[in-house]
Protein backbone atom coordinates (compact mmCIF):
# COMPACT_ATOMS: atom_id res chain seq x y z
CA UNK A 1 0.00 0.00 0.00
CA UNK A 2 1.43 3.33 -1.01
CA UNK A 3 1.71 5.91 1.73
CA UNK A 4 0.94 9.34 0.29
CA UNK A 5 1.62 11.45 3.33
CA UNK A 6 2.98 11.59 6.81
CA UNK A 7 -0.62 11.43 7.99
CA UNK A 8 -1.09 8.11 6.18
CA UNK A 9 2.02 6.78 7.88
CA UNK A 10 0.68 7.78 11.27
CA UNK A 11 -2.69 6.14 10.57
CA UNK A 12 -1.03 2.88 9.52
CA UNK A 13 1.14 2.90 12.64
CA UNK A 14 -1.93 3.31 14.85
CA UNK A 15 -3.74 0.46 13.08
CA UNK A 16 -0.74 -1.87 13.34
CA UNK A 17 -0.53 -1.12 17.05
CA UNK A 18 -4.18 -2.09 17.44
CA UNK A 19 -5.25 1.45 18.19
CA UNK A 20 -8.34 1.29 16.01
CA UNK A 21 -10.11 4.27 17.57
CA UNK A 22 -7.76 6.75 15.90
CA UNK A 23 -9.00 10.24 15.07
CA UNK A 24 -7.26 12.55 12.62
CA UNK A 25 -8.00 16.20 13.28
CA UNK A 26 -7.97 18.51 10.28
CA UNK A 27 -6.86 22.06 11.04
CA UNK A 28 -8.34 23.90 8.07
CA UNK A 29 -7.72 27.36 9.50
CA UNK A 30 -3.98 26.83 9.11
CA UNK A 31 -4.33 25.31 5.62
CA UNK A 32 -2.57 22.14 6.70
CA UNK A 33 -3.26 18.72 8.10
CA UNK A 34 -2.51 18.50 11.79
CA UNK A 35 -1.97 14.91 12.82
CA UNK A 36 -3.21 13.93 16.24
CA UNK A 37 -3.77 10.40 17.39
CA UNK A 38 -6.50 10.32 20.03
CA UNK A 39 -6.51 6.73 21.21
CA UNK A 40 -9.36 5.61 23.41
CA UNK A 41 -8.98 2.78 25.89
CA UNK A 42 -8.78 -0.50 24.01
CA UNK A 43 -11.94 -2.55 23.88
CA UNK A 44 -11.89 -5.44 26.36
CA UNK A 45 -13.74 -8.43 24.92
CA UNK A 46 -14.73 -11.11 27.40
CA UNK A 47 -15.31 -8.56 30.16
CA UNK A 48 -18.68 -7.24 31.27
CA UNK A 49 -19.74 -4.92 34.08
CA UNK A 50 -23.18 -5.48 35.60
CA UNK A 51 -24.92 -2.80 37.64
CA UNK A 52 -27.70 -2.83 40.18
CA UNK A 53 -30.09 0.13 39.80
CA UNK A 54 -31.26 1.59 43.14
CA UNK A 55 -28.34 2.96 45.15
CA UNK A 56 -25.88 2.09 42.39
CA UNK A 57 -26.88 3.95 39.22
CA UNK A 58 -29.57 6.05 40.88
CA UNK A 59 -30.68 7.14 44.32
CA UNK A 60 -33.43 4.75 45.53
CA UNK A 61 -36.42 4.97 43.13
CA UNK A 62 -35.04 8.20 41.69
CA UNK A 63 -34.21 8.97 38.06
CA UNK A 64 -30.61 8.65 36.90
CA UNK A 65 -28.88 12.00 36.49
CA UNK A 66 -27.81 13.19 33.02
CA UNK A 67 -24.21 12.97 34.25
CA UNK A 68 -24.62 9.29 35.13
CA UNK A 69 -26.30 8.47 31.81
CA UNK A 70 -23.48 10.18 29.93
CA UNK A 71 -20.89 8.30 31.97
CA UNK A 72 -22.51 4.97 31.11
CA UNK A 73 -22.51 5.87 27.41
CA UNK A 74 -18.78 6.55 27.60
CA UNK A 75 -18.14 3.37 29.56
CA UNK A 76 -20.00 1.31 26.95
CA UNK A 77 -17.44 2.42 24.36
CA UNK A 78 -14.79 0.59 26.36
CA UNK A 79 -16.48 -2.47 27.87
CA UNK A 80 -19.73 -4.42 27.64
CA UNK A 81 -22.24 -3.19 30.21
CA UNK A 82 -25.47 -4.54 31.65
CA UNK A 83 -28.14 -3.75 34.22
CA UNK A 84 -29.60 -6.31 36.62
CA UNK A 85 -32.47 -5.11 38.78
CA UNK A 86 -35.15 -6.68 40.91
CA UNK A 87 -37.85 -4.43 39.44
CA UNK A 88 -39.75 -5.08 36.24
CA UNK A 89 -38.80 -3.34 33.00
CA UNK A 90 -41.40 -0.61 33.47
CA UNK A 91 -39.84 0.56 36.73
CA UNK A 92 -36.28 0.20 35.44
CA UNK A 93 -37.26 2.33 32.42
CA UNK A 94 -38.71 4.99 34.72
CA UNK A 95 -35.30 5.35 36.34
CA UNK A 96 -32.87 4.77 33.46
CA UNK A 97 -34.95 5.98 30.50
CA UNK A 98 -37.42 4.56 27.99
CA UNK A 99 -34.59 3.44 25.69
CA UNK A 100 -32.82 1.47 28.42
CA UNK A 101 -32.88 -1.87 26.56
CA UNK A 102 -30.95 -0.20 23.74
CA UNK A 103 -28.69 1.90 25.96
CA UNK A 104 -27.09 -1.17 27.57
CA UNK A 105 -25.81 -4.36 25.99
CA UNK A 106 -27.81 -6.44 28.47
CA UNK A 107 -30.81 -5.55 30.61
CA UNK A 108 -31.95 -8.10 33.19
CA UNK A 109 -35.31 -7.17 34.72
CA UNK A 110 -36.63 -9.11 37.72
CA UNK A 111 -33.13 -10.50 38.43
CA UNK A 112 -32.84 -11.73 34.85
CA UNK A 113 -36.12 -13.63 34.78
CA UNK A 114 -36.94 -11.27 31.91
CA UNK A 115 -33.75 -10.80 29.90
CA UNK A 116 -32.82 -8.51 27.00
CA UNK A 117 -29.74 -8.37 24.81
CA UNK A 118 -29.27 -5.56 22.30
CA UNK A 119 -32.90 -4.56 22.73
CA UNK A 120 -34.34 -8.04 22.11
CA UNK A 121 -35.92 -10.45 24.59
CA UNK A 122 -33.72 -13.52 25.03
CA UNK A 123 -35.50 -15.26 27.90
CA UNK A 124 -38.42 -15.17 30.34
CA UNK A 125 -39.47 -17.19 33.39
CA UNK A 126 -42.88 -17.47 35.08
CA UNK A 127 -43.49 -17.65 38.82
CA UNK A 128 -47.10 -18.75 38.28
CA UNK A 129 -46.04 -21.70 36.17
CA UNK A 130 -43.36 -22.69 38.66
CA UNK A 131 -45.46 -22.55 41.85
CA UNK A 132 -48.93 -23.23 40.50
CA UNK A 133 -52.07 -21.26 41.25
CA UNK A 134 -52.91 -23.07 44.49
CA UNK A 135 -49.58 -22.40 46.21
CA UNK A 136 -49.45 -18.86 44.88
CA UNK A 137 -52.90 -18.06 46.27
CA UNK A 138 -52.03 -19.62 49.64
CA UNK A 139 -48.93 -17.47 49.94
CA UNK A 140 -50.67 -14.25 48.89
CA UNK A 141 -53.62 -14.80 51.25
CA UNK A 142 -51.36 -15.41 54.25
CA UNK A 143 -49.18 -12.40 53.42
CA UNK A 144 -52.15 -10.04 53.10
CA UNK A 145 -53.54 -11.24 56.44
CA UNK A 146 -50.14 -10.63 58.05
CA UNK A 147 -49.99 -7.08 56.67
CA UNK A 148 -53.58 -6.40 57.79
CA UNK A 149 -52.61 -7.23 61.38
CA UNK A 150 -49.32 -5.32 61.20
CA UNK A 151 -49.12 -2.33 63.54
CA UNK A 152 -47.21 0.36 61.67
CA UNK A 153 -47.84 4.15 61.50
CA UNK A 154 -48.85 4.29 57.82
CA UNK A 155 -50.37 1.92 55.27
CA UNK A 156 -51.27 2.82 51.71
CA UNK A 157 -52.00 0.48 48.78
CA UNK A 158 -50.45 -2.17 46.51
CA UNK A 159 -49.02 -4.36 49.26
CA UNK A 160 -48.21 -7.19 46.85
CA UNK A 161 -47.06 -6.62 43.29
CA UNK A 162 -47.18 -9.66 41.02
CA UNK A 163 -44.38 -9.74 38.47
CA UNK A 164 -43.44 -12.32 35.84
CA UNK A 165 -40.86 -14.09 37.95
CA UNK A 166 -41.41 -12.87 41.51
CA UNK A 167 -43.64 -11.19 44.06
CA UNK A 168 -42.74 -7.84 45.56
CA UNK A 169 -44.13 -7.38 49.07
CA UNK A 170 -44.37 -3.97 50.73
CA UNK A 171 -45.68 -3.65 54.32
CA UNK A 172 -46.48 0.05 53.83
CA UNK A 173 -47.72 -0.36 50.24
CA UNK A 174 -46.03 0.77 47.03
CA UNK A 175 -48.54 3.61 46.56
CA UNK A 176 -46.90 5.64 49.32
CA UNK A 177 -45.34 9.01 48.53
CA UNK A 178 -41.59 9.56 48.44
CA UNK A 179 -41.77 11.31 51.80
CA UNK A 180 -43.66 8.36 53.30
CA UNK A 181 -41.17 5.99 51.69
CA UNK A 182 -38.28 7.80 53.36
CA UNK A 183 -40.05 7.78 56.72
CA UNK A 184 -40.79 4.06 56.51
CA UNK A 185 -37.15 3.32 55.70
CA UNK A 186 -36.11 5.08 58.91
CA UNK A 187 -38.84 3.31 60.90
CA UNK A 188 -37.85 -0.07 59.47
CA UNK A 189 -34.20 0.39 60.47
CA UNK A 190 -35.33 0.73 64.08
CA UNK A 191 -38.20 -1.77 64.23
CA UNK A 192 -37.03 -4.33 61.61
CA UNK A 193 -40.50 -4.66 60.10
CA UNK A 194 -39.33 -6.30 56.88
CA UNK A 195 -36.79 -8.67 58.41
CA UNK A 196 -39.32 -9.90 61.00
CA UNK A 197 -41.92 -10.44 58.30
CA UNK A 198 -39.43 -12.34 56.15
CA UNK A 199 -38.59 -14.62 59.10
CA UNK A 200 -42.28 -15.50 59.56
CA UNK A 201 -42.84 -16.17 55.87
CA UNK A 202 -39.64 -18.17 55.51
CA UNK A 203 -40.71 -20.49 58.33
CA UNK A 204 -44.35 -20.75 57.24
CA UNK A 205 -43.53 -21.57 53.62
CA UNK A 206 -40.26 -23.48 54.02
CA UNK A 207 -41.68 -26.28 51.86
CA UNK A 208 -42.12 -23.86 48.94
CA UNK A 209 -38.32 -23.44 48.62
CA UNK A 210 -38.54 -19.67 48.27
CA UNK A 211 -35.91 -16.97 48.61
CA UNK A 212 -36.70 -13.68 50.37
CA UNK A 213 -34.56 -10.73 49.40
CA UNK A 214 -34.80 -7.30 51.06
CA UNK A 215 -34.10 -4.40 48.71
CA UNK A 216 -34.88 -0.73 48.22
CA UNK A 217 -36.58 1.26 50.96
CA UNK A 218 -39.99 -0.31 51.51
CA UNK A 219 -40.22 -3.86 50.18
CA UNK A 220 -38.73 -7.30 49.67
CA UNK A 221 -38.82 -9.75 46.77
CA UNK A 222 -40.02 -13.35 46.91
CA UNK A 223 -38.96 -15.91 44.30
CA UNK A 224 -37.94 -19.58 43.97
CA UNK A 225 -34.47 -20.54 45.18
CA UNK A 226 -31.91 -19.87 42.48
CA UNK A 227 -33.96 -17.08 40.94
CA UNK A 228 -31.89 -14.35 42.61
CA UNK A 229 -29.62 -12.07 40.59
CA UNK A 230 -27.25 -14.95 39.83
CA UNK A 231 -29.99 -16.16 37.46
CA UNK A 232 -28.81 -13.62 34.88
CA UNK A 233 -25.38 -15.25 34.73
CA UNK A 234 -26.81 -18.10 32.64
CA UNK A 235 -26.87 -15.67 29.71
CA UNK A 236 -23.23 -14.60 30.13
CA UNK A 237 -21.34 -17.78 29.31
CA UNK A 238 -19.17 -15.99 26.75
CA UNK A 239 -17.67 -13.68 29.38
CA UNK A 240 -14.65 -14.77 31.42
CA UNK A 241 -14.59 -11.68 33.65
CA UNK A 242 -17.87 -10.45 35.14
CA UNK A 243 -17.81 -7.43 37.44
CA UNK A 244 -20.86 -6.65 39.55
CA UNK A 245 -21.57 -3.34 41.29
CA UNK A 246 -24.27 -3.08 43.95
CA UNK A 247 -25.08 -1.45 47.27
CA UNK A 248 -27.00 -4.19 49.12
CA UNK A 249 -24.26 -6.80 49.07
CA UNK A 250 -24.73 -7.87 52.70
CA UNK A 251 -26.35 -11.20 53.62
CA UNK A 252 -30.09 -10.82 53.11
CA UNK A 253 -29.66 -7.94 50.66
CA UNK A 254 -30.80 -8.42 47.09
CA UNK A 255 -27.25 -8.07 45.74
CA UNK A 256 -25.69 -10.62 48.09
CA UNK A 257 -25.85 -13.80 45.98
CA UNK A 258 -24.42 -12.33 42.80
CA UNK A 259 -21.82 -10.37 44.79
CA UNK A 260 -20.64 -13.59 46.45
CA UNK A 261 -20.85 -15.75 43.31
CA UNK A 262 -17.64 -17.46 42.20
CA UNK A 263 -18.36 -16.25 38.68
CA UNK A 264 -18.24 -12.55 39.55
CA UNK A 265 -15.86 -9.95 40.87
CA UNK A 266 -18.04 -8.14 43.39
CA UNK A 267 -17.82 -4.43 44.18
CA UNK A 268 -19.80 -2.76 46.97
CA UNK A 269 -20.78 0.84 46.25
CA UNK A 270 -22.26 3.48 48.52
CA UNK A 271 -23.82 5.81 45.95
CA UNK A 272 -24.01 6.53 42.20
CA UNK A 273 -21.01 8.84 42.63
CA UNK A 274 -19.04 5.98 44.16
CA UNK A 275 -20.01 3.79 41.21
CA UNK A 276 -18.56 6.35 38.80
CA UNK A 277 -15.35 6.65 40.81
CA UNK A 278 -14.80 2.90 41.05
CA UNK A 279 -15.52 2.31 37.36
CA UNK A 280 -13.23 5.15 36.33
CA UNK A 281 -10.39 3.61 38.32
CA UNK A 282 -11.03 0.08 37.05
CA UNK A 283 -11.88 0.62 33.39
CA UNK A 284 -11.04 4.14 32.25
CA UNK A 285 -7.72 4.95 33.91
CA UNK A 286 -4.34 4.80 32.22
CA UNK A 287 -1.51 2.69 33.68
CA UNK A 288 -0.40 5.71 35.73
CA UNK A 289 -3.83 5.73 37.41
CA UNK A 290 -4.99 8.94 35.75
CA UNK A 291 -8.30 9.13 33.81
Task: Check whether 288 is labelled as a binding-site residue.
Answer: no
Residue 55 CA to residue 269 CA, distance in Å, equals: 8
Strand ranges of the sheet holding 160-162, from the earlier edge strand across to the other edge: 160-162, 167-169, 219-224, 210-215
Task: Check whether 247 is labelled as a binding-site residue.
Answer: yes
Does 150 share its domain with 207? yes
Which pLDDT score, from 0 to 100, does residue 288 have? 58
Which pLDDT score, from 0 to 100, does residue 287 have? 62
| Domain presence at residue 70 | yes
Task: Check whether 163 is labelled as a binding-site residue.
Answer: yes
Does 235 share its domain with 268? yes
Q: Which residues of the chain have pLDDT under 70?
A: 1-43, 286-291
Active site residues: 52, 54
| Domain presence at residue 289 | no
Does 97 share its domain with 60? yes
Does 180 share its domain with 259? no
Enclosing domain of residue 19: 1-39
Does 198 share its domain with 141? yes
Does 132 share its domain with 209? yes
Last-in-domain residue among 206, 224, 242 = 224
Does 142 share its domain with 188? yes
Task: Check whether 76 is labelled as a binding-site residue.
Answer: no
Does 102 share its domain with 245? yes
Number of domains observed in the structure of the chain: 3
| Domain presence at residue 291 | no
Amino acid sequence: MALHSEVDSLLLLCVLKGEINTVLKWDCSKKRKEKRCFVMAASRPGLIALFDVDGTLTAPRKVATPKMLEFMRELRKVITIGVVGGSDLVKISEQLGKTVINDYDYVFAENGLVAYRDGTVIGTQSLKSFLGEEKLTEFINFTLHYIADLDIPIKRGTFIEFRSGMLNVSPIGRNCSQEERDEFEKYDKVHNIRSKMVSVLREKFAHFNLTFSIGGQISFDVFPQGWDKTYCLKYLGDFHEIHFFGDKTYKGGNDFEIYESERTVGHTVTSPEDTVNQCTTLFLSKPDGKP
